Copies of this chain bind each other. A is one copy, B any other.
Amino acid sequence: MHFPLLSPQMNEEFERRLTRIRLAMQRTGTDAVLLASTVNFFYLAGGIWRGYFYVPAAGSPRLFLIASPKEAEGIETPIRKPEQIPALLAELGYPVAVKVGLEFDDLYYSEVERLRKLFPEAEITNASAILREARMIKTPLEIQFMKEDGLHQSAVYSRIGKVYREDMTDVEFQTEIERLLRLEGCLGFLRVAGSRMEINMGSLIAGPNADEPTPYDFSMGGTGSDPSLPVGASGMIIKPGMAVMVDMNGGFNGYQTDMTRCWTLGDVPEIAVKAHECSRAILRDLETFSRPGVEIGEMYRRAVRIAEEWGLSSFFMGHRHKVSFIGHGVGIELNEQPVVMERNKMLLQENMTIALEPKFVIPEVGALGCENTYAVRADGLENLTTYKENLQQL
């Protein structure tokens, strides 16, 4: 059990992340944030422990830990319960914070209510929004982690064709890919923002199952194999003429890449091949168009326009059920900021990491298209998920 970012060697990386948080705090006039969620705790400490990370706008941040590890001495104060924090802050000489951020979108209601009582005089704001903004722009080290994810994920995707067997169900095929991922070092558990997002190791969708809606906010649907988890593979046998879309877990180190590739069993109709090529054309277009300063909504509109030009609008981003985004930030969580949707007026910034997934659902055939995770660079997008994109035969 370690806090890698709190080791002396990582001091610079820690300061970088701290600075990103403080920039967002300043913009919102927040005096201090108290972080408790696993994702935000991990962002700042590089590890997970039971406790709270107090970050004032100025001065040293401080860890309040319930089970104290030895690794974080100097920055750390042991506690039994969060109610001890206010007195300890006063004792340690921290000024009283007037405006305190708590994680409205990462902690349950009862947890925030408990922490709110620690600051009875303070105005309470949303630290989740602050951390979302901070985490949106990655440090070089974070992008390095994601490059490693992309390499591992690509290595696994290159072996996918080898584990297919005739008459497999979609669940069986997915299971063999899950195994390849885990043996490659994938951690399995996928962090997704939102209390109503649930998935196991990502999704594999074959044939008509692609056109089945899901109650979750994932780009593609699928009935799942049980009403208790209605998303993804359904348990049906993969048959000739079907496309199989693989969009599975790229998390190996606390960060993740999001990559989708497609396979077909036997021949598929020309329109499916065309849809797959259109997805690649959209990616090529966006790779050079998307530079720092570009309005994110414009990326969405370009993608929609290209799908239109190819005559494929009715299949774009779903058929019976459509989603309203073609991409999303990715990092510690699968779905970070920014969301690439029509009304997003935010400008693209260097070192954002974004998964773009222009996908098509062709009724009966399945889902087609590719997804890559990119780092935004000065001259365009750098692809972190470089496995070949062509439609492959199983």
Which residues of A are at the interface with B, using a C-beta cutoff of 8 A? Answer: 1-4, 36-38, 42, 46-50, 67, 102-113, 126, 128, 171-172, 174-176, 178-179, 182-183, 185, 187-189, 191, 195-196, 198-201, 212-215, 223-230, 252-254, 321, 332
Contact = CB atoms under 8 A, between A and B. Distances in A.
8 shortest A-B CB distances, which residue pairs?
A: A228-B254, A188-B200, A109-B112, A189-B200, A47-B227, A175-B182, A104-B110, A104-B109
Contacts of A185: 225
Nearest to A201: B188
A230 to B, nearest CB: 6
A217 to B, nearest CB: 8
A106 B249 CA distance: 25
A39 to B, nearest CB: 10
Given A109-B109, A182-B175, A230 B200 contact: no
A121 B281 CA distance: 54
Contacts of A4: 227
A237 B92 CA distance: 45
Contact of A199 (B176, B189, B332): B189
A227 B178 contact: no
B126 A38 contact: no
A108 B110 contact: no
Contacts of A126: 110
Given A38-B196, A112-B109, A50 B175 contact: no
A201 B1 CA distance: 21
Given A2-B227, A227-B47, A229-B187, A105 B108 contact: yes
Given A48-B230, A227-B254, A212 B1 contact: yes
A189 B226 CA distance: 12
Contacts of A50: 196, 215
A195 B228 contact: no
Contacts of A227: 1-4, 46-48, 254
Contacts of A171: 182
A133 B105 CA distance: 26
Contacts of A198: 38, 189, 191
Contacts of A199: 189
B226 A253 contact: yes
Contact of A108 (B3, B104, B178, B332): B104
A249 to B, nearest CB: 10
Nearest to A42: B228
A124 to B, nearest CB: 10
A38 B38 CA distance: 20
Given A4-B227, A108-B195, A228-B254, 13 more contacts: A1-B213, A1-B214, A1-B215, A37-B196, A46-B227, A47-B227, A48-B229, A104-B108, A106-B108, A171-B182, A175-B182, A187-B226, A226-B253
Most buried by B among A183, A195, A253: A195
B67 A213 contact: yes
A229 B185 CA distance: 12
A156 B330 CA distance: 35
